[in-house]
Amino acid sequence: MSEDFYKVLGVSKDAEQDVIKKAYRKLARKWHPDVNPGNKEAEQKFKEISRAYDCLGNKEKRKLYDEFGEAGLQSGFDAGKARQYKQWGGAYQQEGWGEARQDFGKYASYEDIFGDLFGQGGGFRRGTGGFGTHATRGADLQHDMEIDLISALKGFETELSMQKTRSCTVCNGSGADPKVKMSTCSKCGGSGRMNVSKGPMQFTSACPQCGGHGQVGKPCTQCGGSGQVIGMETIKVTIPQGVKEGSRVRVAGKGEPGLGGGKPGDLYLVIHIRPHPILKREEDNLYIEIPVTVSEAMKGGTITIPTVEGMVQLKVPPKSQSGQSLRLKGKGAVNLKTKKRGDLMVKLIVKVPQTDDKEIIEAAEKMERFYEGDLRKAIRL
């Protein structure tokens, strides 16, 4: 039986997500292959920890795992059908197993019902090797990626060096030592299946000795029989224009390798944006504060300001006030779905000269008579 993911990370089943994350980071540092070079036990332990966190660190996967166990994480699993089956089984338990009928409708047995839950059509292939003939898609991976705001707005291509599980090159992912000849399994006689009895119900399961392959051999010396090893891989990725905080970028085929010839899973990059010192994003609009002189604010004129695509000219209207916002249409962020641009909102900040020059101070005093009354008259708490 596979080990409980909660026990692997050493947390309780009601643990909060941040507790699970902290537990994973602590264990990952302890068992990381770089910290334990050449230690096969540490490598296997790190693989188990990573697999457990891949499930429990994702709220949706964790919910399925809590309800259905590891079966709920398999590719093609249909939670709706699984719940229907639970209800079906519960009804028969209430009536008594002694009276349970053998008619499964379109299913020949339990194994066909479970086969349909995983999208395998007619269920497990009995008498032909069972699990040994079924290709399983590799698990998806998730990786956090931090980038700056300008890069997120422009989009870019880059390369990531990641330590991840890949198919063993010695055994080509089979887990068996290619130098040792395979022999027929003595327990199942080469069928890969074993008859199992549960009360009046008769069904088969994968042979525990050969794992459903029908043949046995010696485990691969490189991967220890798992068919997978941990290594560094350089991955080319394209970050699309307009990604924002929390965006998920899919890199097809760069997840965990599949088993039994199955397709690899996908890699999902979760984007995190570093704050920019003067530029902010809200939805698809960008916001920036631009200083202007007293003269520019009073007389108006054209000033040069930066945008994501380069420098542009902005017309400042006469009698502009500090804090007034001007809109530059189509100069904001690109919407990932619609591909349309938001706007750039420019907030004018009137700056007065930082000087003790008498001429400037006298000029400022002359301006006082042009204000219409007390500027703070209406301000009350």
Please give the pLDDT value at position 237. Answer: 94
| Judgement on whether residues 221 and 306 belong to the same structural domain of the protein | no
If we measure between CA atoms, which residue out of 208, 219, 212 comes closest to residue 190? 212
Question: What single-letter amino acid sits at 279?
Answer: L
Q: Where are the alpha helices (DSSP H) in the chain?
A: 5-9, 17-31, 40-56, 59-68, 79-95, 110-117, 149-154, 294-299, 358-367
Question: Among 231, 258, 274, which residue terminates a domain?
Answer: 274
DSSP string, 211-233: TTSSEE--B-TTTTTSSEEEEEE
What secondary structure does DSSP assign to 67-131, as a single string? Answer: HHGGGGGSTT--HHHHHHHHHHHHHHHHH-GGG--S-BTTBSSHHHHHHHHTT-SS-S-TTTTGG
User: What is the structure's pLDDT at 315?
Assistant: 96
pLDDT mean across residues, the chain: 81
Give the global pTM. Answer: 0.55
Interior CA angle at 230 toward 228 and 234, to 5°? 115
Whether residue 202 has pLDDT greater than 70: no
Question: Over 80: is that where the pLDDT of 94 sits?
Answer: no
Q: Which of helix, strand or coil describes residue 3?
A: coil
Say if 85 falls within a structural domain.
Answer: no
Mark whether 150 and 262 lie in a shared domain: yes
User: What average pLDDT does the segment 267-281 reach?
Assistant: 95
For residues 220 and 262, membership in a common domain is answered with yes
Q: Is residue 112 part of a domain?
A: no
User: Residue 254 domain-assigned?
Assistant: yes
Show the CA angle centred on residue 22, arms to residues 250 and 247, nearest 5°: 25
- Say yes or no: 283 and 254 in one domain: no
Q: Is the pLDDT of residue 97 over 90?
A: no
Which of 277, 250, 279, 282 is closest to 266 using CA atoms?
Answer: 250
The answer to whether residues 283 and 270 belong to one domain is no
Structure tokens at 376: 């703070």
Strand partners, 273: 147
| Residue 242 sits in the same domain as residue 148 | yes
Q: What is the pLDDT of residue 131?
A: 32
Q: Is 154 among the domain residues?
A: yes
pLDDT level of residue 198 (50, 70, 90 thresholds): low
> Within this chain, do residues 235 and 286 fall inside the same structural domain, yes or no?
no
Under 8 Å between Cβ of 367 and 295:
no
Average of per-residue pLDDT across 102-131: 39
pLDDT at 303: 96
Residue 137 counted as domain residue: yes
Residue 223 counted as domain residue: yes
pLDDT tens sequence across 227-247:
777 777 889 999 999 999 999
pLDDT tens for 302-326 read 999 999 999 999 999 999 999 999 9
Percent above pLDDT 70 for the chain: 81
Where residue 205 sits, what CATH number does that domain have? 2.60.260.20
Predicted local distance difference test score (pLDDT) of residue 122: 37
Residue 87: pLDDT over 80: no
Print the domain residue range for 313.
279-370
Lowest mean pLDDT segment, chosen from 15-24, 123-132, 321-330? 123-132
| Domain final position from 220, 252, 274 | 274
Is residue 11 a part of any domain in this protein?
Answer: no
Q: Domain end: 251, 274, 297, which one?
A: 274
Q: Are residues 315 and 210 in the same domain?
A: no
The stretch 342-371 carries a mean pLDDT of 92
Residue 344 lies in a domain: yes
For residue range 67-81, list pLDDT tens digits in order. Answer: 888 777 776 677 776
Same domain, 135 and 190: yes
Check residue 81 and give its pLDDT: 65
Statement to judge: residues 361 and 329 lie in one domain: yes
Q: Are residues 136 and 217 in the same domain?
A: yes
